Amino acid sequence: MKSDTNQRGSNTILFQNQLAKPARMVVVATMSETAPKRENMWANLGFNIILPMLLLSKGEAWLSSVPPWGVLIIALAFPIGYFIYDLKERKKANGFSIIGFISVLLTGGIGLLKLSPMVFAIKETAVPLIFGVAVVASLKTKKPLIRMMLYNPSVMDVDKVDRALDTEEKRNGFNKLMVNCTWIIAASFLVSATLNFFITRIVVTTDPNIDQAAFTAEIGRQGFITWIVLTLATLPLMVFAMYKLFKGIKELTGYGLEDVILDAKKDKKEAVEANNSAE
């Protein structure tokens, strides 16, 4: 009798394990299927900013048989094409592509209309200034831009942090933290706008009505110098904002950097191990 009872118990456990096995496999498969692909930073910069601006500055020399408006269309094709590709791959709108499209359109449009260097300087100043104002203004909305820029579910385990904010005091502390980080990011945009104006006024001096080729070359030079200077000037502020964010998360939840940053390789390894154990 005792042997029969043990046998029935073993069969029951085996049956339950067999039932659980498909469920575990479905969970693992679902995790791997729904996990969004990471953005490629270099592809973002290349297709949305570097290649289009390079075409605008060197297009007339490289594509001598193509009219200026044709060069602009080719330059615009890069951010548009990458936007469509990234939307298909990641199922998310690429903000870099939108920014790149607007920037290339404005820069190329100013060149085609042969507007003064001052108009170009105003454009270069206005773009980061608008983003800085938008970041601060978005604090009053349900989806602040700071969450997309720093507190992003594609970069960190947002759900894990949110679950740890289990008291009103912690949630209020986290909201204050996000506000502080927002102002730091806004300051980086203000620095960017200020430097953009002065660099543009120093580098871009030729009236396009007098010498279109020189004006175009100066725009290309300005873009290169601006990219280097702004990276060196604003990167410390961005890093400081991230430091403040992770330090605040540590104080509020006890989670360190390694606890909240997503690791694609680690996730894949864990999924494979879970699938193997399920088999």
pLDDT reading at 27 higher than 50: no
Contact 146, 182 (CB under 8 A): yes
Of 76-80, 174-178, 248-252, the one with minimum mean pLDDT is 76-80
> Regarding predicted confidence, which is higher, 147 or 271?
147
pLDDT of residue 151: 85
Question: Are 244 and 236 within 8 A, CB to CB?
Answer: no
Reduce the DSSP state of residue 261 to 3 states and report it.
strand
Q: What is the pLDDT of residues 143-170, one digit of tens each?
A: 888 887 888 887 888 899 999 998 999 9
3 state SS of 210:
coil
Query: Hey, how many other C-beta atoms are within 10 angstroms of the C-beta on 185?
Result: 23
Query: What local confidence, expressed as pLDDT, does residue 41 receive?
Result: 67
User: Six-digit token pair at 207?
Assistant: 């009236």
36 with 92: CB under 8 angstroms? yes
Asked whether residue 15 carries a pLDDT value surpassing 50, the answer given is no
Nearest of 246, 249, 242 to residue 171 by alpha carbon: 249
Which has the closest alpha carbon to 75: 99, 51, 93?
51
Q: State how far the alpha carbon of 256 is from the alpha carbons of 119, 250, 253, in Å.
A: 47, 5, 9
Q: How far is CA 268 from the centre of its chain?
A: 22
Structural domain spans, the chain = 1-34, 37-113, 117-279
How distant, in Å, are the alpha carbons of 30, 40, 94, 172, 228 from that of 185? 35, 22, 19, 20, 18
- The pLDDT tens digits of the residues spanning 81-104 come to 888 888 888 777 777 778 778 878
Apex 79 CA angle, 76 and 81, nearest 5 = 95
pLDDT for residue 75: 83
Q: What is the pLDDT of residue 250?
A: 93
Q: Kindly report, residue by residue over 209-239, the tens digit of the pLDDT.
A: 898 878 888 887 888 888 888 888 889 999 9
Residue 29 has pLDDT above 80, yes or no: no
d(CA 131, CA 186): 8
pLDDT for residue 275 is more than 70: no
| Structure confidence at residue 26 (pLDDT) | 37
Average confidence (pLDDT) over 96-116: 81
How does pLDDT run across 32-88, given as a tens digit for each residue? 444 456 666 677 778 887 788 788 777 777 877 888 778 788 888 888 888 888 888
**If you average pLDDT over every residue of the chain, what do you get?**
79
Q: Which residue reads 């690791």 in tokens?
A: 263
